[in-house]
């Protein structure tokens, strides 16, 4: 049985729907990993950033993500739903999760298939509103399910023994996040999003201020429990891969940042999709407006609340 350990920092979180003047644009970007090389360790963090978060998270929205590697080093899959979460502040909002080693500790060597000098991994994501509304000319409100097309994309990165650790990379964050997708809404129709005609403005990932919270993000990510600092002496090249939302491949180009891609109405080309919501991830955080919320999946039978 799975339990949830929840940790909530004290502080007020205003109702997000009251913090936005419409029309308004929200943006989803990938903070970590970027198109770079990182140490081989697990759990391995995944961080998303939301600009003008209520536009994306105050309505029936869903973000699905999956992380896979060509040699089967890491695997993670999870989803994050808007509206059902704690109301986020207007700007910014960070979501932290993690993938795990594909091989479990009880199965022996967790990096048994890592027999080359590196492994290529891909983080694939998709974002969609599963209910939207449209105001008709006669003033009536039309509610539509599944109308909004999914926005999808990916980021490809490399794992190499001896490279910088994820914590080091996050703590010393420089440059921009990877562009995800931007969504423009015309109005909030009593909790239902009315999508604007120009619904896909160009993402502006450099406007997401990651650097000012980099140390907090680095401190918040889950600590690794296993790592590979040097290649084993054997040269067996037995690979293992898992596929779902995407598979390890060369990245397509992204408008506004390298190493990622997005599609839908407002991105560049991306990869496939899946409704698989199985959760292999070990940890989920959200950081918002200076406050930190943590939910850690553990083997337990109860919900335990702890206040910092």
Range in 64-73, 119-128, 129-138 the model is least confident about: 129-138
Segment 44-48 mean pLDDT:
98
The pLDDT confidence band at residue 163, using thresholds 50, 70 and 90, is very high
pLDDT tens digits along 169-216:
999 999 999 999 999 999 998 889 999 988 999 999 999 999 999 999
pLDDT at position 20 is 82
Most confident range (mean pLDDT) of 133-137, 201-205, 282-286 is: 201-205
Segment 49-72 mean pLDDT:
94
Please state, rounded to an integer, the average pLDDT across all residues of the chain. Answer: 76
Domain ranges of the chain: 16-289
The pLDDT confidence band at residue 26, using thresholds 50, 70 and 90, is very high
71: left (phi over 0), alpha (psi -120 to 50) or beta: alpha
Compare 134 and 168 and report the one with higher pLDDT.
Answer: 168
Question: Is residue 308 within 8 Å of 12, Cβ to Cβ?
Answer: no
pLDDT at position 87 is 67
Range in 25-29, 70-74, 109-113 the model is least confident about: 109-113
The Cα–Cα gap between 32 and 111 comes to: 22
The pLDDT confidence band at residue 5, using thresholds 50, 70 and 90, is very low
| Portion of the chain with pLDDT greater than 90, in percent | 51
pLDDT at 229 over 60: yes
pLDDT tens digits along 234-249:
544 444 433 344 433 3
Question: Is residue 86 within 8 Å of 286, Cβ to Cβ?
Answer: yes
pLDDT at position 231 is 77
pTM of the prediction?
0.73
- Cα-based torsion angle of the residue sequence 74, 165, 231, 104 in order, rounded to the nearest 10 degrees: -30
């Amino acid at each position: 049985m799975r339990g949830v350990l929840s940790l909530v920092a004290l502080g007020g979180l205003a109702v997000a729907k009251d913090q936005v003047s419409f029309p308004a644009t929200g943006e989803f970007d990938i903070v970590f990993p970027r198109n770079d090389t990182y140490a081989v360790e697990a759990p391995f963090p995944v961080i998303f950033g939301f600009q003008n978060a209520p536009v994306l998270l105050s309505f029936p929205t869903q973000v699905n993500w999956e992380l896979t590697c060509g040699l089967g080093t890491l695997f993670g899959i999870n989803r994050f739903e808007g509206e059902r979460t704690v109301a986020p502040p207007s700007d910014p909002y960070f979501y932290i999760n993690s993938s795990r080693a594909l091989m479990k500790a009880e199965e022996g060597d967790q990096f048994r298939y890592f027999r080359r000098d590196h492994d290529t991994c891909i983080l694939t994501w998709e974002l969609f509103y599963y209910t939207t509304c449209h105001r008709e000319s006669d003033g009536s409100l039309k509610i539509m399910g599944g109308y909004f097309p999914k926005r999808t994309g990916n980021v490809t990165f490399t794992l190499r023994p001896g490279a910088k650790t994820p914590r080091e990379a996050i703590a010393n964050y420089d440059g921009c996040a990877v562009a995800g997708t931007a969504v423009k809404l015309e109005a909030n129709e009593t909790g239902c999003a009315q999508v604007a005609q120009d619904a896909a403005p160009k993402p502006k990932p450099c406007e997401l201020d990651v650097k000012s919270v980099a140390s907090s993000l680095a401190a918040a990510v889950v600590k690794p429990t296993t790592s590979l600092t040097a290649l084993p002496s054997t040269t067996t090249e037995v690979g293992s891969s898992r596929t779902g939302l995407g598979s390890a491949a060369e990245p397509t180009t992204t408008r506004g940042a390298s190493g990622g891609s997005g599609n839908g109405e407002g991105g560049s080309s991306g990869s496939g999709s899946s409704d698989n919501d199985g959760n292999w991830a070990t940890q989920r955080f959200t950081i918002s407006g200076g406050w930190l919320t943590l939910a850690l999946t553990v083997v337990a039978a109860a919900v335990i609340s702890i206040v910092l």
